[in-house]
Structure 1
Amino acid sequence: MPSKKMLIADVLENLSKKNFEKFGMALMARGGDRKVAFSKVEDKNFMEVTNVLVSTFTEDDAPAVTSELLKSIKCFNEAKELDEQMAELFPKSSTRKKVHFVDKHQLELTERVCNIDSILDFLLKENVIQDAIYEKISCTPGNQGKTRNIYKLALKSGIDAKNIFLESLKKYEPFLVADLERKG
């Protein structure tokens, strides 16, 4: 049975040169707490990039990161193939992600968030939204309308935006977050 690392290597090996370069750029540009330096990707082959993925994100998490990056560069078939192989060979650690807290609780958050202006300021400060989007959301009447617009305009950019939004919720709505976490 192939390892998770070999599944990643197979997918990367089969990318066109152009898509492999895009993948490397997406890997370096990926947000989050684990960054990949340019020197670790520049002029590297598929196996070396696979090693960087595994050493940076662990063998268990690297397939999900690889799938996320493939989707970000519009290599949807390759991401789907990797996801399907992971689900088949490693059903308990499939790359199918858990539903993010802010997605799972979207309705409750939309209904219950009160400190929306502080959250908007936080999202602006953390570069999740830019001035134009900030102004558009700020002009929306009511907390529910503003929260809906955060989902529509700010959180579509991906997991990093959702993580920062969750961080703002923990800071400005700690009791609400605790209540939702208790409910599951």
Structure 2
Amino acid sequence: MPPRTIKAAIQDALEDLTEKKFKKFCAALLDRRGEPRVKRSSVEGQDYITIAQVLVSTFTESGALRITLELLREIDCSEEAQRLGELPHEPKRISIISISQSIFAHGPSAGASAGRTMSGDRHFVDTHRTALIQRVSTVPPLLDELLDRGIIKQEGYNTIMAQATSQARMRELYTGPLNACGSSGKDIFYKILEKLEPYLISDLRNN
């Protein structure tokens, strides 16, 4: 049997939710602050088939998977998220298993090389600055690791965390510490993103 598409897998995962959990999932989707936002009229009163379609059409297949996993964990459906994340899917000939292997099987030097020269001499994190500012959702753990590795100082950490939204925090990170840390610091930033946001990084690589 061929692997299911991400859309079909998301649809099945949503179908397995209880009515109460499905309503919580839809509410969390509408409350999500990151861009792009979904329209309330596209979500309210819709069934799991329609919601799966909305996710894919709004975020692309790999992005929809990432968002679905995040929202399932947010509403305390960790087991459902784990089952969905472990399933092999095949969107556009790319499976979750191959994405994970591609990201985690390489050593640090391979990750840094892939990030450094995405477009000419521009670093991956510079090339995709706008997308990363808009779409990175794991900002607190990202900042924790940057602080531990000395890329940002405690004062800078506090300044960034004082911002109201994930987008504002990422923007502050870019204009401050990340702008000053050089290529080696950006390599570390990139490798942390590979670990925290594997589906987002894969989506940007392939598009």
Q: Same fold (TM over 0.5)?
A: yes
Q: TM-score, normalized by length of structure 1?
A: 0.66
Identity of aligned residues (%): 28
In the alignment, which residue of structure 2 is the partner of 1:175? 180
Cα deviations by residue, 1:106-133 (Å, 9 ceiling, x for unpaired): 31247x52753xx645543x325xxxxx
Alignment check: 8 A CA contact 2:89 2:96 kept: yes
Q: How many residues align?
A: 145
| Corresponding residue to 1:113 among 131, 142, 153 | 153
| Corresponding residue to 1:92 among 94, 98, 103 | 98
In the alignment, which residue of structure 1 is the partner of 2:164? 127
For residues 37 and 169 of structure 1, what CA distance do their matches in structure 2 show?
29
In the alignment, which residue of structure 1 is the partner of 2:30? 28
- Displacement of 1:182: 4.2
- Displacement of 1:166: 3.5
- Displacement of 1:170: 1.7
**Secondary structure at the counterpart of residue 83 of structure 2:** helix
Residue 43 (structure 2) pairs with residue 41 (structure 1) = yes
AA matched with 1:46: Y
Alignment check: 8 A CA contact 2:147 2:153 kept: no
- Note closer, same or farther for the CA distance 1:90–1:106 as it changes in structure 2 (3 Å cut): same
**Secondary structure at the counterpart of residue 105 of structure 1:** helix
- Displacement of 1:57: 0.6
Mark the runs of 5 or more structure 1 residues left unpaired by the alignment.
Answer: 129-159
- Note closer, same or farther for the CA distance 1:62–1:177 as it changes in structure 2 (3 Å cut): farther
Alignment of 1:152-167 (within 5 A): 160=166, 164-167=168-171
* Stretch deviating more after TM superposition (82-91 or 42-51): 82-91
Q: Which has the higher contact order (CA 8 A, sep 6+)?
A: 2
For residues 87 and 177 of structure 1, what CA distance do their matches in structure 2 show?
37
- Note closer, same or farther for the CA distance 1:105–1:115 as it changes in structure 2 (3 Å cut): closer
Q: TM-score, normalized by length of structure 2?
A: 0.59
Alignment of 1:140-159 (within 5 A): none
